[in-house]
Every structure is written in C-alpha cells, then in structure tokens.
Amino acid sequence: MPQSPFVMYDEEFKELTLIIEKLLREANSKCVYLVDKDGQLMSAVGETKDIDATSLASLTAGNIAATGGLAKVIGEKEFSILFHEGERDNIHISVVGQRVILVVIFDKRSSLGLVRLRVKKASEDLTKSIEKLLSRMQAGAAQENILKEITDDDIERLFH
Amino acid sequence: MSFINYSAKEINCKIVYYGPGLCGKTTNLQFIYKKTRPEAKGKMVTLATETERTLFFDFLPIALGDIKGFKVRFHLYTVPGQIFYDASRKLILKGVDGIIFVADSQVDRMDANMESFDNMKLNLDEQGYNLDNIPYVIQYNKRDLPNVVPVAELNKVLNVNGVPEFEAAAFDGTGVFETLKSVVKLVLIELKKGA
Ligand SMILES: Nc1nc2c(ncn2[C@@H]2O[C@H](COP(=O)(O)OP(=O)(O)OP(=O)(O)O)[C@@H](O)[C@H]2O)c(=O)[nH]1
Ligand SMILES: [Mg+2]
C-alpha cells in the first residue's frame, strides 16, 4: 500500500514559516528552507529568488538519504547534521522531528557557530509543530479533503 | 508519499522509472523535458557518470494542470539501472506513489529485465510496499530495433499482474507520454480511493 499522503494545512504552513522566519533573522542567514524527507518543499524564506527551490528540495532529500545510507553502512543511526562550505555561501542541513529537513544557507555575514546555535533552538520549536502535524495526520482529523472531491472527469480532463 | 499542500494549493506525487541498465529510463525523462512547455516544467537534475550512466538519479518536476483549484505536480525520478547501484535504488524508491517499469525489448536483455523486475519487487518489499497494490505500468522500450522479443512473450514473463503495458521507442518519443499518462491516472485514482 502506498503510504497515506503527507498533508499540510494553511495554519500549519504559517506556524512553520513563522519559526523559520525567526531563524532566518536570528542566524543572519540568506535563506531557510523546510523540505520533507521525500524531497517536497514545504516552506522557504529569505533571498530565495535566485535559487531553484524544487531542485534544492530534491537534492537535499537525496543528500540526507545518501548519508543516511552511509551511516547504516558504518553502523551509525543517521548523520542528522550536514555542513557544506563554499567559497561564498555555506549550507547547513539538519533533520528535525525525524520527518523534515531544515536547510540554512548563509554567507560571511553569519558564522557556523551562530547558525548551529540558532538551528538548535529553532529545531525544538519545529519539532513540536511537526509532531502536532503528524499526530493530526494520524488521527485523520476530518478537515477539508480535496482528494475526496476528485472525480474521474477531473482526472480525464488533466490530459486535454 | 504524495504531499498535499493546502497552503500552496498543490498535489505533489512521486513517480519512479525503474528498469535494467541502458533500457532507456533517462531517455524517457529527456523526451518529456524536451516536449513540455517551459512554464509546466522545472529544471532537470541529472546525477550521472562521465559516460552518462545514471549514478544516483535523474529528477524532473512537471505540472499537469489543475484539479479543483489545486495544481497537480508530479516529480519524476529515474533509478540507476546498473546492478551495483542497488543501495541508491532503494533510496529513490522511498515515498514512491507510482512506478513505470521500463524493459529493454532486445532478446539479449531479457535476463537483465527479469533480474531488474525481481530486484524491484525485493526493494519494494523491504520498504513495506507490495507490487499488488502500488500503481505501476510497464513500458517495452526500443521497439525500433530489429532483434526484439514479441510483446506477447514479454507480457508472459514481465506482466504477471496484467497492468497497462506500452510499446515505446523513447529516443524518438514513441509511447513516452502514453506511458506517463497511464501511471499518472492510476496514481490519482489510488489517491482518491484512499481519501
Ligand atoms: N534504439 C533505441 N535506443 C534507445 C531507445 N531508448 C534509449 N535508447 C538508447 O539507449 C542508451 C541508454 O539509454 P539511457 O536512457 O541512458 O538508459 P538508462 O535506462 O537511463 O540507463 P542507466 O542510467 O544506466 O540505468 C542511450 O544510448 C539511448 O539513446 C530506444 O527506444 N531505441
Ligand atoms: Mg539513466
């Protein structure tokens, strides 16, 4: 059975976005992304317009998946933090709430130490929000459900 | 796992092209990329070796249109077909919503097809999926070549579940969109069923 869909409602999006906006400011970073482990972009803030967010999301998910595989090979659980240093920009990737990936891009206006510190703090808040979201999903709390409204005609029409 | 984003009003699903090395998975994606309007596609990401063999995956996001005000987006991935990249194939299968199994129709690739199909079943199993209830279709590629196995024969060996099957020649695009549409439909029907 394919797993049931990962659903994010507007309130949840806003709650998560507020947290990463705060992180963006406090870490002096350029931009912050929240990506689910399957590579879907959940939210993005900061100077994001020159970055292809969809590629970024799928590659960070691939990166986390690959290092997760590596961890298993050497008998570790997971590398929950990855850091890549560039000439101009650096990228800090971490897993929060086991389900979501937090990506922070920063340059020399900030530092790895500061980013680490702020990410740690933000992760606590994000974990709470994500756990809430996941338990809401598990309970299957009846809210609006677009999937129920899809008709066979809708599906047919997609291809015309 | 599909991702329903009520804030961005999007339905996102993940399709994986699976099959033996050199069967034409990357070629399928390249054709789709070439023929899709700029506003309906994102960048194609290719992680390949110097010799253009897929090393980790290819990735192409496409938008198909709207359903009830929601944008329907599909993320297309290919796996590396070469046998020794099995660890990567497992990773790509995570969260898959639908599969296109691409077989190489050439006589001398039959063993490779069967081996890849069994490998797919095994890897799905490991993730708690089961071919009997995951949407998938089969594409018999390279029909343009002279030494191909008849479709009836291919069906007997590879299409045990009687899923939709398509003849294709991915390098000129024959059958490429037909295959994709078919699995997209199956995925959406499955989503609706689970709602
Ligand atoms: N004659 C013919 N050649 C094809 C067809 N489709 C693909 N090819 C060729 O087959 C070769 C391999 O194609 P790829 O798409 O790279 O194969 P792949 O399945 O992605 O291979 P891996 O990445 O190693 O798993 C290329 O040279 C293609 O041009 C087809 O329909 N007919
Ligand atoms: Mg390839």
Q: Is the pLDDT reported for residue B192 higher than 70?
A: yes
Closest CA to B134 of B87, B81, B193, B67: B193
Would you tell me how many other CB atoms lie within 10 Å of the CB of residue B61?
23
Residue A15 near residue A9 (C-beta atoms within 8 A): no
pLDDT (tens digit per residue) in B57-103: 999 999 999 999 999 999 999 999 999 899 999 999 999 999 999 99
Which two tokens mark B14?
A: 């993940």
Q: How far apart are CA B124 and CA B120, in angstroms?
A: 6
Q: For ligand 1, is residue B20 a contact (CB within 6 Å)?
A: no
| pLDDT score for A1 | 43
DSSP string of B102-131, one letter each residue: EEE-BGGGHHHHHHHHHHHHHHHHHTT--T
Query: Given an 8 Å threshold on Cβ–Cβ distance, is A62 in contact with B91?
Result: yes
**Which of B36, B59, B133 is most worth mutating to test chain A (most A CB atoms within 10 A of its CB)?**
B59
* B16-to-A84, A128, B57, B77, B138 alpha-carbon distances in Å: 28, 32, 10, 5, 12
- Indicate the residue of A69, A146, A154 with minimum beta-carbon distance to B4: A146
Structural domains in chain A, CATH included, are 10-159 (3.30.450.30)
Query: Given an 8 Å threshold on Cβ–Cβ distance, is B94 in contact with A65?
Result: yes
Q: For ligand 1, is residue B119 a contact (CB within 6 Å)?
A: no
The average confidence (pLDDT) of chain B is: 95
Would you tell me how many other CB atoms lie within 10 Å of the CB of residue B36?
17
Place of tokens 């070796």: B49
Q: What pLDDT band is residue B40 in, cutting at 50, 70 and 90?
A: very high
Length of chain A: 160
| pLDDT score for A2 | 52
For atom 30 of ligand 1, the residue with the nearest CA is B142
DSSP, collapsed to helix, strand or coil, labels residue B72 as strand
B 149-178 → A contacts, CB under 8 A: none
Closest CA to B168 of B29, B11, B10, B9: B29
Which two tokens mark B144?
A: 């343009």
DSSP, collapsed to helix, strand or coil, labels residue A97 as coil
| pLDDT score for A80 | 83
Place of tokens 């039959």: B110
Structural domains in chain B, CATH included, are 3-194 (3.40.50.300)
pLDDT (tens digit per residue) in B121-168: 999 999 899 999 899 999 999 999 999 999 999 999 999 999 999 999
Amino acid at B35: K
Q: How far apart are CA A26 and CA A118, in angstroms?
A: 7
Q: What pLDDT band is residue B34 in, cutting at 50, 70 and 90?
A: very high
Q: How far apart are CA B97 and CA B135, in angstroms?
A: 7
Looking at chain B, list the stretches that DSSP marks H as alpha helix, in order from N- to C-terminal side.
Answer: 25-35, 86-93, 110-126, 151-158, 176-194
Label the pairing between strands B54-67 and B70-78: antiparallel
pLDDT in tens, chain A (160 residues): 456 789 999 999 999 999 999 999 999 999 999 999 999 999 999 999 999 999 999 999 999 999 988 998 999 988 889 999 999 999 999 999 889 999 999 999 999 999 999 999 999 999 999 999 999 988 876 667 888 888 889 988 887 6
What is the b/e burial string over B19-35, where b = at least 16 CB atoms within 10 angstroms of the residue's CB? bbbbbbbbbbbbbbbee
Q: For ligand 1, is residue B24 a contact (CB within 6 Å)?
A: yes
Q: How far apart are CA B59 and CA A52, in angstroms?
A: 13
Q: For ligand 1, is residue B142 a contact (CB within 6 Å)?
A: yes
Q: How far apart are CA B191 and CA B195, in angstroms?
A: 6
